[in-house]
Amino acid sequence: MRCRKCGQKAVINMRQHKLALCCEHFLQWVPEQTERFIQKYKMFARDERVLLAVSGGKDSLALWDILLRLGFAADGLYIELGIDGDMQYGQRSQACARKFADAHGAHLITVDVHRKYGATIPELAQLTRRGKDKPCSVCGVSKRYIMNYVAREGGYAVLLTGHNLDDEAAVLFQNTLHWQTGYLARQAPVLPATDAGFVRKVKPLCRFYERETAAYALLRGIDYLYAECPFSVGANTIYYKELLGRLEAERPGSKLQFYLSFLQAREDGYFAGAKDDEGLRSCERCGQPTTAPGSCAFCRMWAAVRERKRESRGGSENPVVTQACGR
């Protein structure tokens, strides 16, 4: 197969676009398309301070690389979750993020969940009802909270994540299966900032297939963590990605069409009635936005952990965990 632009040997064939490209032209095409999506969805302007959530995986490091190549001064945020899984997952992912930042002279902020709040994500999962048998849930709550907290406190205008089209299509598929209209209403390339305190969130890679972000990372020589989070084994998202992958193999472009048609329906107002942003208020403990009355999910989670720890220690308070909200 030959590159459509130069006729050299292609390294990737994007069947959904009927486009094969060589290494050189693929590495040009990805940043060009990213910039096009940033502008199309009005994600952020060049003079805005942007914070990118970095996991050490292919998507976030590829996005950081693209942004730096495009001339955006993006800072990175790495959250140390304390996940080991007999493979030093946390240390290795942090090492990848740190190595990239150092090699590019980029600023990396690191938040260690155990040091800041008093327990690792696996411990948190053990100590809370929310996390029982599903650490991904407490991990998600924690990451979303910390990302917004750091972005707000750091004065960043926008928070970026490396979600790709496969991530978006899998979540869309899951939410459609369950007709979670509230979640569908909130799924978009850009979630605007809210008066209640959510920083604007954007997903510049939301139109790229996962195999494209992986190919970009490989071709750019980015040292990313190839191993998966040990808790992701059997995750619904991965199952849905594999299902959609089967569809894509038979019907090229199905995933892209699924996602773009959804975005069009959303723009046409199909989910407008399901929006629940109006119910946002400030958490009475930490001030971060929440839809719940009283405390936000993060504060409630850590309050439960404090209670559990107090019980197990015969009534003594854990001085670290009492500062769960970082205030």
Which CB, 29 or 72, lies closer to other proteins? 29
Which CB, 150 or 169, lies closer to other proteins? 169
Which CB, 160 or 170, lies closer to other proteins? 170
Dihedral sign, Cα of residue 38, residue 42, residue 46, residue 52? negative
Dihedral sign, Cα of residue 226, residue 227, residue 229, residue 235? positive
Q: Smallest gap, in angstroms, from Cβ of residue 184 to other proteins?
A: 17
Residue with tokens 């892209």: 256
Q: Smallest gap, in angstroms, from Cβ of residue 37 to other proteins?
A: 20
DSSP at 56: S
Q: Smallest gap, in angstroms, from Cβ of residue 138 to other proteins?
A: 9
Dihedral sign, Cα of residue 41, residue 46, residue 51, residue 54? positive
Interface residues with other proteins (CB under 8 A)?
Answer: 1, 10-13, 20, 23, 57-59, 134, 136-137, 139-141, 143, 166-167, 170, 210-211, 213-215, 218-219, 226, 228-229, 231-232, 235-238, 241-242, 245-246, 248-249
- Cβ neighbors of 114 (< 8 A, separation 6 or more) are 80, 82, 120, 123
Q: Smallest gap, in angstroms, from Cβ of residue 238 to other proteins?
A: 6
Which CB, 20 or 158, lies closer to other proteins? 20
Minimal CA–CA distance to 162: which of 80, 111, 97, 230?
97
> Rounded to the nearest 5 degrees, what angle is found at the Cα of 175, between the Cα atoms of 171 and 178?
145
Q: Smallest gap, in angstroms, from Cβ of residue 188 to other proteins?
A: 18
DSSP sequence for 249-305: HHSTTHHHHHHHHHHHHHHTTTTGGG--GGG-EE-TTT--EESSSSS-HHHHHHHHH
Which CB, 17 or 310, lies closer to other proteins? 17
Which CB, 35 or 151, lies closer to other proteins? 151
Q: Smallest gap, in angstroms, from Cβ of residue 167 to other proteins?
A: 6
